[in-house]
Amino acid sequence: MTDTPKRHMKDQIYDIFLGRIQRGEIGPDVRLVDTAVAAEFNVSRMPVRDALMRLTHEGYLDSTTRGFTLPNLDTRQIREIFELRRLLEPRAAALATARLTENDLTRLRDAVARAEQTLETGEIETLFAASEDIRRTWIMAVPNKELRDTILRYMAQIQAVRMATLRDAEAHRTLVDLQRRLLQALEARDAAAVELLLLRYVLAGEDSFLRLHPPSADSDAS
């Protein structure tokens, strides 16, 4: 456990915690403290600090004076990020359409199947995982690295939105349906349809989020 066989510790630690955050393994009330993490990895505070501060600057963590925690996204931020998603993701998915390997498609079929099953079982955790899987698969196929990185940057926000919306039965059905149709469009390599469906997907998420968190009156001030 002490030695992961790669390059610099700070990068390893960065990767490890980025993964934990993106997989939702970090609990909203966990307080990451550099000394504690340093002990876990048998290194000094410095590489841990580097990693956690990097994650902080990238928006994955908040740096309080009492440790690092998940950022408490206020609804204003979440709504602003929806705007970004509307602008970027349809085009990104369209660009990815031609790049998906057969392997990717298999993974997508599997994930969509799992998502569909949750319509009956109601297992939200499984739905989370499947949605995450679908998302990661097409994003990783986006050929434009700058675009891909920009989208990945607000991955954490997506988690928060999922938490807030997927428990809603109606949203659940809508999103799974869109996932199925997205898969079909991707299989058909129909980039135009993919672009439209991604837009619908983002809009559906936004709608359902706004239904649950109606914008307060003052909230569109800068």
Partner DNA sequence: AATGCCTTAAAAGTATGCAGTTTAGGCGGG
Partner DNA sequence: CCCGCCTAAACTGCATACTTTTAAGGCATT
> What residue ranges bind its own copies (CB under 8 A)?
50, 53-54, 57-58, 77, 80-81, 83-84, 87-88, 91, 99, 143-147, 150, 153-154, 220-222
- Which residue lies nearer to DNA by CB, 38 or 176? 38
Please enumerate in sequence order all residues whose Cβ is within 8 A of that of 178, keeping only pairs 6 or more positions apart, or say none.
197, 200, 201, 204
Q: If contact means CB under 5 to 8 A according to the sort of partner, which of DNA, its own copies, none does residue 99 touch?
A: its own copies
Candidates 179, 190, 203, 202; CA nearest to 111 is 179
Alpha carbons 115 and 130: distance in angstroms, whole number: 6
Assess contact for 182 and 166: CB atoms under 8 A: no
| In the complex, minimum distance from the CB of residue 150 to its own copies, in angstroms, rounded to a whole number | 6
Assess contact for 204 and 171: CB atoms under 8 A: yes
Q: Give the contact letters, 14-53, x = binds to DNA (CB under 7 A), - = no.
A: -----------------xxxxxx-x---xxxxxx-xx--x
- Which residue lies nearer to DNA by CB, 29 or 218? 29
**57: contact with DNA by CB under 7 A:** no
List 68's β-bridge partners, or say none: 32, 63
Assess contact for 211 and 107: CB atoms under 8 A: no
Q: If contact means CB under 5 to 8 A according to the sort of partner, which of DNA, its own copies, none does residue 84 touch?
A: its own copies
How many C-beta neighbours within 10 Å does residue 43 have? 16
Candidates 122, 127, 117, 134; CA nearest to 179 is 134
- Which residue lies nearer to its own copies by CB, 53 or 204? 53
Q: If contact means CB under 5 to 8 A according to the sort of partner, which of DNA, its own copies, none does residue 9 touch?
A: DNA
Q: Which residues bind DNA (CB under 7 A)?
A: 8-10, 31-36, 38, 42-47, 49-50, 53, 63-68
